[in-house]
Amino acid sequence: MRVAILCVLLAVFGCKKAPQSNLQKTRIQLNWVPEPEFGGIYAAREIGAFQRQGLEVEILAGAAGTPVIQIVASGQADFGVVGADDVVLARARGIDIVAVFASFQHSPLGVMVHKDRGLEKLEDLKSGTLAIEPGLPFGQWIKKKYGFAGVTIVPYDGGVAKFLTDPLYAQQCYVTAEPIAVRRRGKEAKVFAARETGFDPYANVIVIKGGTLKARMPLVRAFIAATAEGWKSYLESPRATNAVMAKLNTGMDLDTFDEAARTQEPLVRGEGALGAMTEARFKELGEQLTELGTIPKPPLASDCYWEPRP
């Protein structure tokens, strides 16, 4: 009798299965630590946009040198964040990566100099030191375009310490990062934006493997819709999401997060719809990278990106 009762109790209580989530799990690999440049992605999670689209999204923070293209191409993550130039380079090398959302309509890259040098144009830089990341297409572009005769070009070390101590030091920058860091240390920088030089690839582009795009179209549509909703929310009110990211990235204080969010807003909004891309922009980028000798010939521009259509 006791055995029978025990069996009943186990059937009722002990053998109940835990409720299963109906959300589809997916991952996105970032190419840097949590910062405002990923604000729309984190906001999509915080406001429940991913969940409303039936998704449970794991956001994987990156670091310098994170091989995002390889991670996505190998299927370790469905989505990744890279630059549009990375997409063109990948496709030129036969890697089946496709851009599906451009978080930044205009590049946040630039060159910063000390404001009190009085330079009006980047081509006026004819002395001192210029720090550029070796192999960076933007760096190759400006060296080819301006020459910088009389300027000592050195590798960019990722910080602002040398800039702060040398009035003739210039360096590449993200308009949302180094110029703000310099100002908070009592110096003023003048920034020449990449866009002003004629080199303006989309930035923080969300990519997916071409095969995954074809096989899992509903996933891609849901992810992009949620991301667009996240960016819309973040642009309207970034503070709450910034507070979440600031806890994940303690190297930046909340005020810096907020200032960076304000600085990047026009680059994210651009002139059209959030995340939108065009064939013409990818065609131009492919031609520029070919001109620089980075790739032997440009890939087909229409293969580099996908945009949702009804």
Q: Is the pLDDT confidence value at 13 over 60?
A: no
Q: What proportion of the chain, given as a percentage, has pLDDT over 70?
A: 93
Tokens of 273: 């719809």
List pLDDT tens digits, range 218-228. 999 999 999 99
* Residues 77 and 215 both lie in one domain: yes
**Structure-model confidence comparison of residues 8 and 100, the more confident one:** 100
Same domain, 130 and 188: yes
Residue 42 region by backbone torsions, left for phi larger than 0, else alpha for psi between -120 and 50, else beta: alpha
Residue range 68-114, pLDDT digits in tens: 999 999 999 999 999 999 999 999 999 999 999 999 999 999 999 99
Q: For residue 243, what are the contacts with CB-CB under 8 A and spacing of at least 6? A: 254, 257
19 has a pLDDT exceeding 50: no
Tokens linked to 41: 């992605």
Q: Are residues 58 and 205 in the same domain?
A: yes
Instruction: Find the radius of gyration of the CA atoms of the chain.
Output: 23
Co-location of 97 and 211 in the same domain: yes
Residue 253 pairs in a beta bridge with none
Domain co-membership, 250 together with 192: no
* pLDDT bracket for residue 10 (50, 70, 90): very low
Phi-psi region of 147 (alpha: psi -120 to 50; beta: other; left: phi over 0): left
Task: Find the mean pLDDT for residues 177-183.
Answer: 96
Last residue of some domain: 197, 228, 255? 197
- Please list the residues that pair with 109 across neighbouring strands: 174
Is 186's pLDDT higher than 70? yes
> 98 and 231: one domain?
yes
The reply to whether 206 and 293 lie within a common domain is yes
Q: Which of 166, 197, 228 marks a domain boundary?
A: 197
pLDDT of the residue at 310: 67
What is the phi/psi pair of residue 202, to 5°?
Answer: -55, 150
In a domain, 4, yes or no: no
Range of the domain at 39: 24-107+201-304
Six-digit token string for 182: 């310099």
Is position 12 within any domain? Answer: no
pLDDT digits (tens, 9 = 90+) for 261-286: 999 999 999 998 999 999 999 999 99
pTM: predicted TM-score of the whole model, two decimal places: 0.91
Query: Please, which residues bridge with residue 208 across strands?
Result: 79, 98
Residue 216, phi then psi, degrees to nearest 5: -130, 50
pLDDT at 1 over 80: no
Residue 115 and residue 169: Cα distance in Å, rounded?
A: 11
Q: How many domains, the chain?
A: 2
Domain membership of residue 153 (yes or no) is: yes
